[in-house]
Amino acid sequence: DAGVIQSPRHEVTEMGQEVTLRCKPISGHDYLFWYRQTMMRGLELLIYFNNNVPIDDSGMPEDRFSAKMPNASFSTLKIQPSEPRDSAVYFCATRDRGAYNEQFFGPGTRLTVL
Amino acid sequence: KNEVEQSPQNLTAQEGEFITINCSYSVGISALHWLQQHPGGGIVSLFMLSSGKKKHGRLIATINIQEKHSSLHITASHPRDSAVYICAVRSIQGAQKLVFGQGTRLTINP
């Protein structure tokens, strides 16, 4: 398996633009997590899905952020409109349904909003 | 106060030294994870613990549930161990959510 795949790996955009980050989970994994990592706040959970259904989005910073998982093979995290404070590395991670299974992280998308 | 505290924040050592990184948490947990993040940015899961001790190669992780404390040890450290080590807990209330420590930046000099 290729592991968790994220695209793009780097994104540079201007303030006000829409940004879409993509994640392809490991086949068969039931849980998908979106995290954000910044120097100031470290790693934070934004939202997670179980069987394509959003379970907890309490970490989504504001209405400008939205996430979808239309099927078991694909998820998106969208920021509209983007702001400079959204600059961070965004990680997608997935895991199997077993209660004590580890999470597998994607390589991350480094977002810079100018 | 953060729910997950790591110490030290930064650690520099010479190759071959025994390394210990500590993690303390304040909530009841169902599991604790140790993650490694290399300078390139990728994150790898090293261990997941709910009790006792686990060993993988030169890495050992221990957890004391009563004291709400975990340690990650590296024996015979090597420059390739240089990375950020992150402790994360899955709280009993939080179900699937992970809460992360701020990380410990480890540098091993040759």
Supply the pLDDT for residue A99: 56
Residues of A with CB below 8 A from B97's CB? Answer: 45, 48, 56
Q: Which residues contact A46 (CB under 8 A, 6 or more apart)?
A: A34, A35, A36, A57, A59, A60, A61, A65, A67, A77, A90
Q: Could you report the per-residue pLDDT of B41-96, keeping only the tens digit for each?
A: 789 999 999 899 999 999 999 999 999 999 999 999 999 999 999 999 988 876 67
- Chains A, B: CB contacts within 8 A come to 49
Determine whether the interchain pair A56/B96 forms a contact, defined as Cβ–Cβ distance below 8 Å: yes
Determine whether the interchain pair A48/B97 forms a contact, defined as Cβ–Cβ distance below 8 Å: yes
Q: Is residue B88 within 8 angstroms of chain A, CB to CB? A: yes
Determine whether the interchain pair A108/B42 forms a contact, defined as Cβ–Cβ distance below 8 Å: yes
Supply the pLDDT for residue A11: 97
**Which residue from A minimizes the CA distance to B33?**
A102
Supply the pLDDT for residue A83: 96
- CA torsion, ordered A1, B39, A35, A110, to nearest 10 deg: -90
Neighbours of A88 (CB within 10 A): 21
**Backbone phi and psi for residue A84, each to the nearest 5 degrees, phi listed first:** -55, -35
Query: pLDDT below 70 — which residues of chain A?
Result: 1, 99-100
Q: Could you report the per-residue pLDDT of B12-28, keeping only the tens digit for each?
A: 999 999 999 999 999 88
A44 vs A88: CA distance, rounded Å: 11
Nearest to A94 by CA among A52, A38, A37: A52
Determine whether the interchain pair B42/A104 forms a contact, defined as Cβ–Cβ distance below 8 Å: no
Determine whether the interchain pair B96/A104 forms a contact, defined as Cβ–Cβ distance below 8 Å: no
Strands B104-109 and B10-14: parallel
Residue A46 DSSP SS3 = strand
Supply the pLDDT for residue A114: 96
Q: Which of A6, A35, A43, A48 should be substituted to probe chain B, the one whose Cβ sees the most B Cβ atoms within 10 Å?
A: A43
Supply the pLDDT for residue B78: 96
Report whether pLDDT(B5) > 60: yes
Q: Is residue B86 within 8 angstroms of chain A, CB to CB? A: yes
Contact yes or no for A7/A109 (Cβ under 8 A): yes
Supply the pLDDT for residue A1: 65
Supply the pLDDT for residue A100: 64
Report whether pLDDT(B32) > 60: yes
